[in-house]
Amino acid sequence: MAKVSVIVPVYNVEVYLAECLDSILNQTLKDLEIICINDGSTDKSQEILTEYAKKDSRIIVINQENKGPGSARNNGLKIATGEYIGFVDSDDFIDVDFYEKLYYAAVKNNAEIACAGYERINDKIVKIKEEKLYTKAEEKYKATNLPKECYVWNKIYKNSDLRMSEIKFPEGMFYEDLLFSHQAIYFLPKLVTVPDTYYHQVDNPYSTMHRKDARRINDAKQGFRDCVDFVLRYKIKIDLSDYPPQYSEWIKLFGLKLIKIRKWENVKRYYLFNCIKLMERIISE
């Protein structure tokens, strides 16, 4: 059993793929299983994967028809044998000690999730200040800045707990990591934050995050609706105002926008001038 299984969904990233794979292969933690799922690439990604697999026996390549990253990650989860699971997007890269620090922090703290900081190239750096263990759902959500940062790639997850919880990625839609992040961080009991190592997210102009067509917009809305439904179902005490509401409307007085009403599932919140929370009420539908 490897210490960490790294699942890498691959789709038309020939420009970025070598740097991604090199950053994983050069990890100071050598006991890795690297599962690359070629999701129907039409460029030279498959050729690159084949060449790398010939050079390093830790790489496993799976080819599938294009079904999206949710399906690719789920297929990786099906065969992963590592003690922990990590995810790397194929146009990104990681610090050389990334998995070593995450793994040993998780083991030392007997934690099912370990979370590191990340850098968006040419954008911002999110730092973890200290190694700290969290056990309450609300604390884990706050420590990982959900729902604003529903990222799976700056963390590792205990494989046995993922299997026991039967957590899977939604398939056939974009923004599949939204609900997965909420479920994993809630159901896996302990989370430790890990400073001084980073995941690096590359600004790929062809990636999903840069596309704003109707399908992706609708998938994002549906993903957040599913997350709000999950938060309400399990009575997780976090501020729903961080989620896009199903709808919002203004109460006006003499044409002045006075009170904004935001609705999430069966919860309505009222804000004075959209900044001061006045009240919250549960509605029946």
**H-helix or E-strand spanning residue 247:** strand 247-253
What ranges do the domains of the chain cover? 4-222, 245-285
Q: Which of 241, 239, 243, 242 is nearest to 221 (CA)?
A: 243
Confidence of residue 41 (pLDDT cuts 50, 70, 90): very high
For residue 110, CA distances in Å to 29, 107, 113, 154, 190 come to: 18, 5, 9, 18, 8
pLDDT of 259 reads 84
| Residue 97: how many other CB atoms lie within 10 Å | 15
Q: What is the pLDDT of residues 162-217, one digit of tens each?
A: 999 999 999 999 999 999 999 999 999 999 999 999 999 998 656 655 566 788 88
Q: Structure tokens of 240?
A: 């729903």
Question: What b/e sequence results for 49-70 when a residue is b if at least 16 CB atoms lie within 10 Å of its CB, and e otherwise?
Answer: beebbeeeebbbbbeeeebbbb
Q: Which amino acid is at 95?
A: D
pTM: 0.86
- Tell whether domain 4-222 is in CATH 3.90.550.10: yes
**H-helix or E-strand spanning residue 41:** none
Distance CA 203, CA 256 (A): 41
Q: What is the mean pLDDT of the chain?
A: 91
Average pLDDT over residues 49-73: 97
pLDDT of 63 reads 97
Confidence of residue 254 (pLDDT cuts 50, 70, 90): confident
